[in-house]
Structure 1
């Protein structure tokens, strides 16, 4: 980490983006003057030494030189090996170091590497047939000549399997023919788990094999410092700037659809091209891509074991209800669950939704047989349990050295997700219909959104205000979320809730024998087994997680429990703030005891507290989460909505209006009175990218032009939110100026 010229790095190595090049940075020493890279099994060292500075050279001399190594850089030293004359600036030590490590000097004797006639840029290697050439005609605007190094044959990195690209009409036509020809070999038996596995494998292999046949797989100018060359260089830069400006202007002017403008909006969040830093887990630092991939796999996918799971989930139970869940499935239901979704990234089988749509008239009946057989006997096929997990950085995270900054995105089989989506929809409907879940438990349920849940929470707080009471809100997060779910505990929970045995056995099979491999940058790890946890990215995981955590919302004060997925909130109401705080602490203690007995844990670091009162509180007591005191916040964000102690929502509006205004400024920068996309296309982008951000949560906090009195609910008062509306209006005015080709001085009234 550097923050000034005294700590900034003084060496930099660029590596071309090429699938045949696998580059990793290693750090045997912490220094800003030496950069070590391993590229396809070869170690490349970029070195810089400033005049008589000792630290950089001492570091290099201590470093053990490996095989297949190249060391090059500015040594600022003389020795008769590369320049005749007396040795200076520790040149003798450098020559001795090279000799002791069997490093050959690639420089030609007395060929200068700078305009002053000195040979100070050196290259050493222990690889045979390497050579170096001083290319003094390749200008780099530096006082050094370019030293061109040619290395012997470097073995290319193994190419990782790419994704299937079958897009043209001819390719799709031939793809259908191949699948149609191979469909005659699809197994007809589907009554046992082994036969269902064989059927699923045959369907995925048939489509994947058919698609695999159609896989789509310096500036130079003379060096010079006279005025003519400098003028020519300046003219070239101006011409390049004009060409770039004209290119982007033509590109923006060509935007005629809303889709093109949406892509332009994403320019605002384009990721940087730099490689992520080494990963640190506990006290161990991982530097190579494969080591980082394996470390992230252990930290994100294998952080929990099945040690806390129960042994036998099939003990006798007495459920309070009997839930009807038919194993019969129609072809229309299968088609809707499998194909009525976006063309998301496929799993390891490379079968996309679009490919399934193309051949559905051939494989549809086989897929229905497969799905119905799986649900009837309670089995999830093995090919659907293999996931490819892509690690991406979480938005807004600057410290990428921690595993918590990375989000695992599993890519599952699109065919398998069709079965999971079908069961998830049935589960969600039945859970609501049979009152299995708490009324204030949302997420993955129809007609229950996060905003609706916060609206219910705000209503309860306002009701406490009306009765002159104080409310304390505690928000908690289930640590690990899906990873905490254990198979046998889930099976027992489903049986206690009254779900039929064939569905419970399917859930048991769904969680068993799962495996995953991690894709990180240019590397892929082998498949490894997963002991517990619901798979991220599966359509059925959210509803199974809600059913698994359902007992939480039946603990003390059920009316004060609110939950969305793994986010839980407890609202405690009392006549005084001390009374509400004591009730909140008691609720936390009961939830912690339940979690300890059920293999679930709440992360104290993410627990937040907020006191709500109509009048200013004299004290703000803390709430205890275990041995940790959690002091109340000035503003608390829950499910995307900012809450303050008096429910003024000023902070919420300011934050979301600022986000919307940033996008509005970005869109406005693409347009003016002469150039830019069509107004209709920009208007669609504003409706899709600015208005939802600006109005986020408005149904929860905006009462309209009037609101009820706290002490007389039958009488209304003028709403006090007009100043918030004015803040939102500023962002919307910027959006209107982006849509319309108007001048900066155009009155706002004319925009409307």
Structure 2
């Protein structure tokens, strides 16, 4: 021991082990002995921290004799009873993460709800020292302002929040009884083996009981929808085990930091700058044919910045929740900042740093391949607010001015993937009805969204007619970007990602034919979530959707028990919102009803051969309902649906059919489905000048509802005050009391009109009506009610009811009275 203080000890990244010492830093409650104080001082001076468990004996006779020191972050030494070797010294295991390399520290701060007013106050105070963003004239000033605003938020978060070390594990089920049982076991562990064995079993039994009681309470006491869906998602949980090593060129990569660097190179470093254009494609002057506005309104900024669901923050840790809390002080600053970004065609550098969270791709079982991991870019919430505004304007302009193909559906409003699936199904059915052959070729671009070609994208947009101001903004958005990769708690340093194009088209094109997944099964192709087979029987698709829904249904049954479990109302909501949507996904492509028109019009209708499909959906729904209701195994299926208040499989499909038919009648005339609704005209022979019989699902469903004028496609408008809450943030109970006080304060001659509307179905017939009541000084003086057209809705009835009530009040009002 004396030699340890006489010679210079290297403090390189490696642990040091000592023994035979006593000090309060290692064993609380003991006096210094055997130069323990000198070791503690040496640990402080050298920067080597004690990484063992203070107070945990390392010798069978007691006391902490074996010490381990290290300056490696997160290194730790723990006592392992299961690794006992028979020695009088206990077995110690030292864990050194990252093979001794210091990882990037990433401690986040958590701001509780009670501290949000403090954050708002700090931001309000700090903003006073910022310059007026409307006076910014250069890109450098814009970068400096955004960086200062980000630093202001980070200082406020650190001041009001608390450090959240996410690598620690919580045990909410741990109780004082568990702690007492553990102390009893530790007290006799080395002195009385027989009592130690009994105490250990009692401790483990107490832990199991505590865990069981905790999780049962979580399941039984569901209060909100968030709690419900959190518990329903448990069926998708996997293990917390570390991902297997990556295989790159046949060599394994095991270390987490090395895997993160490997994934970064695979995602951001796959290509060279030579794949991009050699010169700047943005012209000095250009003639644009598309409109572009370089200013935003307060309502538009609020809707796209704080009017969105809470998203994951970027590297600045500014969440939507914090922005909402500080919006009173922040809104004018953000409005001016966004306007200057659009006017100067520049994105601040502080908003160009992304954190790429690597998550496993769904359905990929081989986690050792770099292609089994999907990068999710986490950006600044302020930056995403401006990006949403620009993206929505581009999408609406492209849609209303015919910039893109009618078949394009990605990132466009009023279009979805199922629209493309239904369009292809229609084209295939039309071709098959004419005895033609249909070939579907799909293309998967590897890494299409990992990065962008910085110069090719503005060039293509210029060819489409976009203005130069937008091209400069896009070029600024793609220039100077940085990214760091986070994988399993390890984060790489920031790297530039400018020269990392994502799409390289070469002469190699490989076409893989559709193969059967299992011998004896029909070959299928999965496209946009729908499984296609050669004859369009849709059996593979139904089996796939039913399999996903059955996993949720079985999980619901496992949660529900005879004596415990969630409320039946919560489970019923889970079936309606989780099981049914999973079952009915893609019905636009295959379900048009039990019957379809025969090829010969004289034969009327024939079976559509979907009975098997309906039975599979019906049985899956019945399985889920048996988890909702405490019923016998022999309970008839019809009784299950009736008692649970859940539609049967056939009723569910019919509702989906009518919903799609309504969509076909209400989409705008430029939609890709509109030109497929009407059957083609007969050009010769009998029936010339009339339309052919409906041959596809779209043609049949497009004619079952009466035609209505199609809506005009127009971008969303942000009128002044549209973001103002009309309730003022007051809850219903408080507003009711305030209204009663206001009503009692009215003069005794004033007339109050109360009206309402209603809509309901009785025996398949729709009824829509209204009613009103006239009150004077708390006394009812007149009433009225009436029915309106059954094609109307509740809001129509409410408007007519208010009108009729006001009309009646004017007729009966005495002189000098107010209404």
From 524, 531, 534, the equivalent of 2:491 is: 524
Deviation, 1:240, is 5.0
- Written as runs of structure 1 = structure 2, the 5 A alignment for 1:667-682 is 667-682=556-571
Structure 1 CA distance, aligned partners of 2:91 and 2:421?
Answer: 63
Structure 2 CA distance, aligned partners of 1:267 and 1:392?
Answer: 18
From 202, 211, 216, the equivalent of 1:249 is: 216
Determine helix, strand or coil for the equivalent of 2:443.
Answer: strand
Structure 2 CA distance, aligned partners of 1:134 and 1:312?
Answer: 60
Determine the structure 2 residue equivalent to 1:741: 630
Give RMSD over aligned pairs.
3.8
CA contact under 8 A between 1:484 and 1:532: conserved in structure 2?
Answer: no
How many corresponding residue pairs? 549
Deviation, 1:390, is 1.5
Q: Aligned in 2, Cα 1:492/1:157: closer, same or farther, shift over 3 Å?
A: closer
Structure 2 CA distance, aligned partners of 1:238 and 1:429?
Answer: 62
Q: Aligned in 2, Cα 1:502/1:139: closer, same or farther, shift over 3 Å?
A: closer
- Written as runs of structure 1 = structure 2, the 5 A alignment for 1:294-313 is 294-313=261-280
Determine helix, strand or coil for the equivalent of 2:596.
Answer: strand
CA contact under 8 A between 2:282 and 2:462: conserved in structure 1?
Answer: no
Determine helix, strand or coil for the equivalent of 2:110.
Answer: coil
Deviation, 1:355, is 0.8
Q: Aligned in 2, Cα 1:679/1:309: closer, same or farther, shift over 3 Å?
A: same
Deviation, 1:145, is 7.4
From 603, 606, 610, the equivalent of 1:717 is: 606
Determine the structure 2 residue equivalent to 1:600: 505
- Written as runs of structure 1 = structure 2, the 5 A alignment for 1:562-601 is 599-600=504-505
Structure 1 residues without counterparts, runs of 5 or longer: 1-39, 44-67, 71-112, 115-122, 128-132, 536-594, 612-619, 621-631
Structure 1 CA distance, aligned partners of 2:463 and 2:313?
Answer: 36
Determine the structure 1 residue equivalent to 2:330: 363
From 291, 294, 297, the equivalent of 1:327 is: 294
From 203, 207, 210, the equivalent of 2:149 is: 203
Deviates more, 1:262-271 or 1:469-478: 262-271
From 503, 512, 515, the equivalent of 2:470 is: 503
Q: Aligned in 2, Cα 1:466/1:185: closer, same or farther, shift over 3 Å?
A: same
Structure 1 CA distance, aligned partners of 2:413 and 2:211?
Answer: 49
Deviation, 1:712, is 5.7
Determine the structure 2 residue equivalent to 1:176: 120
CA contact under 8 A between 2:123 and 2:326: conserved in structure 1?
Answer: yes
Q: Aligned in 2, Cα 1:610/1:526: closer, same or farther, shift over 3 Å?
A: closer
Structure 1 CA distance, aligned partners of 2:213 and 2:111?
Answer: 34
Determine helix, strand or coil for the equivalent of 2:128.
Answer: helix
Deviation, 1:368, is 1.4
Structure 2 CA distance, aligned partners of 1:330 and 1:424?
Answer: 16
Determine the structure 1 residue equivalent to 2:90: 148
Structure 2 CA distance, aligned partners of 1:337 and 1:402?
Answer: 37
Determine helix, strand or coil for the equivalent of 1:657.
Answer: helix
Q: Aligned in 2, Cα 1:718/1:239: closer, same or farther, shift over 3 Å?
A: same
From 216, 222, 228, the equivalent of 2:162 is: 216
Q: Aligned in 2, Cα 1:659/1:142: closer, same or farther, shift over 3 Å?
A: farther
Determine the structure 2 residue equivalent to 1:191: 137
Q: Aligned in 2, Cα 1:718/1:317: closer, same or farther, shift over 3 Å?
A: farther
Structure 2 CA distance, aligned partners of 1:309 and 1:153?
Answer: 46
Do structure 1's residue 453 and structure 2's residue 437 form an aligned pair? Answer: no
CA contact under 8 A between 1:388 and 1:519: conserved in structure 2?
Answer: yes
Q: Aligned in 2, Cα 1:144/1:451: closer, same or farther, shift over 3 Å?
A: farther
- Write the deviation string for residues 301-334 of structure 1: whole angstroms up to 9, x where unpaired: 2222321111234377999970001112111111
Structure 2 CA distance, aligned partners of 1:145 and 1:651?
Answer: 62
From 231, 247, 253, the equivalent of 1:280 is: 247
- Write the deviation string for residues 669-698 of structure 1: whole angstroms up to 9, x where unpaired: 111232111112112222222111111111
From 304, 309, 314, the equivalent of 1:342 is: 309
Structure 2 CA distance, aligned partners of 1:197 and 1:124?
Answer: 50
CA contact under 8 A between 2:532 and 2:538: conserved in structure 1?
Answer: yes
Deviates more, 1:720-729 or 1:392-401: 392-401
CA contact under 8 A between 2:301 and 2:335: conserved in structure 1?
Answer: yes
Determine helix, strand or coil for the equivalent of 1:360.
Answer: helix
CA contact under 8 A between 1:478 and 1:600: conserved in structure 2?
Answer: no
Deviates more, 1:723-732 or 1:234-243: 234-243
Structure 2 CA distance, aligned partners of 1:350 and 1:407?
Answer: 22
From 334, 346, 350, the equivalent of 1:383 is: 350
Determine the structure 2 residue equivalent to 1:514: 481
Determine helix, strand or coil for the equivalent of 1:311.
Answer: coil
Determine the structure 2 residue equivalent to 1:728: 617
Q: Aligned in 2, Cα 1:358/1:469: closer, same or farther, shift over 3 Å?
A: same
- Written as runs of structure 1 = structure 2, the 5 A alignment for 1:473-512 is 473-483=440-450, 485-512=452-479
Structure 2 residues without counterparts, runs of 5 or longer: 1-11, 19-58, 61-65, 71-76, 164-181, 643-819
Q: Aligned in 2, Cα 1:147/1:398: closer, same or farther, shift over 3 Å?
A: farther
Structure 1 CA distance, aligned partners of 2:82 and 2:467?
Answer: 73
Determine the structure 1 residue equivalent to 2:112: 167
From 542, 547, 554, the equivalent of 1:653 is: 542
TM-score by length of 2: 0.61
Structure 2 CA distance, aligned partners of 1:124 and 1:369?
Answer: 59
CA contact under 8 A between 2:123 and 2:152: conserved in structure 1?
Answer: yes
Higher relative contact order (Cα pairs below 8 Å, separated by 6+ residues): 1
